[in-house]
Amino acid sequence: MQKLAKREEQIMQSLWKLEKAFIKEIIEELPNPKPHYNTTATIVKILEEKGFINHVAFGNSFQYYPLISKDEYQKEILGEVVHNYFDNSPMALVKFFAKEEKLNPKELEEILQLIKNKK
């Protein structure tokens, strides 16, 4: 699976949230400064060519919907991050967040409970 460019990812975030949307609805969800309609339509077309989204035609209008779920994309991208930056070790990733104080003790306890429940 290809990594999405910044604007592509923003559009996918909008579609994952909305589940299905026309270009104007996608633009409303995007952060400021809002891209031009034609720019958004071009990026949507690229996402469609890459196999991330598809559409249903309503006359001359198209309503777009994701083909790749947010969970699928997260799993793929996080796997790449773990592989490329943490020597393919999820433990190294958790250690990094703990060391950087990005996880509080309650979150660490929740992680431990998840691990215990998996066993």
Residue 53, in any domain of the structure: yes
Question: The whole model's pTM is what?
Answer: 0.82
What is the structure's pLDDT at 116? 87
Residues 84 and 38 in one domain: no
- Give the residue numbers spanning the domain of 112: 70-118
What is the structure's pLDDT at 119? 64
Residues 13 and 55 in one domain: yes
Residues 76 and 54 in one domain: no
CATH number, domain containing residue 59: 1.10.10.10
Q: Would you tell me how many other CB atoms lie within 10 Å of the CB of residue 112? A: 10
Residues 14 and 36 in one domain: yes
What is the structure's pLDDT at 75? 94
**Rounded-to-integer distance, Cα 66 and Cα 22, Å:** 12
Residues 14 and 62 in one domain: yes
Residues 59 and 32 in one domain: yes
Residues 60 and 95 in one domain: no
Q: For 78-108, give the DSSP string.
A: HHHHHHHHSTT-HHHHHHHHHHTT-S-HHHH
What is the structure's pLDDT at 111? 84
Residue 1, in any domain of the structure: no
What is the structure's pLDDT at 103? 79
Residues 17 and 46 in one domain: yes
Residues 41 and 90 in one domain: no
Residue 42, in any domain of the structure: yes
Average pLDDT per 10 consecutive residues for the chain, totaling 119 residues:
92 97 97 95 97 97 97 94 93 85 83 83
What is the structure's pLDDT at 98? 81
